[in-house]
């Protein structure tokens, strides 16, 4: 029997979404890391590009390539997740993001950076709508809104954590080192999803 909204305290939904339910907790940490690398991208990457002498116009192209691919791509990846499942897209997307960030960190010229920015956009497009779909798959309608709120809390905290952590590491070890740390965290987050998340799409669930 489905319980009413008033019988499910917000604290219980918070615990369930953050730690207790495997797929929801995996989605929450992946959302945080996804926005962590997004915060790094907007904060550090323009500084990296400028330090190698790129013009403002070139930096603008690189800055636009990432959200352009992400924005266009997520319409297709969201629909794709309804056909092939959620987990594989999320794991692959996080790994692609990590590889793209690493490519940007070790490159020194415009074209590899453009390739990295576009790959980062593709990986984000694979992850961003699919994580929300996981929450919708798992959360009962009686507490789905609360679960989305908790997921968004963790996801949006990623901007704060990413900006602060990347800034501290960049100050201590340099911008490329900070970007590589974010790349490693992103791939690690994908591995957490691989181990902890169940496939949540009903048609693909074991």
Over the stretch 116-170, which tens digit does the pLDDT of each residue have?
999 999 999 999 999 999 999 999 999 999 999 999 999 999 999 988 988 899 9
Q: What is the pTM of this model?
A: 0.92
pLDDT class of 4 with cuts at 50, 70, 90: very low
The CA-based dihedral angle spanning residues 17, 21, 27, 30, taken in that order and rounded to the nearest 10 degrees: 90
The reported pLDDT for the residue numbered 42 is 86
pLDDT tens per residue across span 37-50? 988 888 899 999 99
DSSP 85: -
Q: Flag whether pLDDT at 60 surpasses 70.
A: yes
At 79-108, the pLDDT tens digits run 999 999 999 999 999 999 999 999 999 999
- The CA distance from 25 to 151, in Å, is 8
């Amino acid at each position: 029997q489905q319980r009413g909204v008033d019988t499910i305290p917000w604290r219980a939904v918070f615990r369930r979404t953050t730690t207790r339910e495997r797929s929801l907790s995996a989605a929450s940490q992946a959302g945080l890391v996804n926005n962590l690398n997004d915060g790094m991208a907007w904060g550090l990457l323009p500084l990296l590009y400028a330090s190698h002498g790129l013009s403002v116009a070139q930096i603008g192209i690189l800055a636009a390539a990432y959200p352009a691919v992400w924005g266009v791509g997520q319409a297709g990846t969201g629909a794709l997740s309804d056909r092939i499942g959620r987990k594989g897209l999320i794991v692959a997307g996080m790994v692609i993001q990590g590889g793209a960030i690493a490519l940007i960190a070790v490159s020194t010229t415009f074209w590899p950076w453009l390739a990295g920015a576009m790959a980062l956009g593709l990986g984000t497009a694979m992850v961003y709508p699919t994580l929300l779909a996981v929450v919708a798959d798992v959360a009962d309608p009686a507490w789905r809104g609360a679960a989305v709120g908790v997921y968004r809390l963790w996801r949006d905290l990623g901007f704060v954590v990413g900006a602060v952590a990347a800034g501290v590491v960049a100050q201590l070890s340099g911008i490329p080192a900070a970007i590589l740390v974010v790349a490693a965290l992103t791939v690690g987050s994908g591995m957490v999803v691989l181990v902890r998340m169940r496939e949540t799409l009903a048609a693909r669930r074991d």
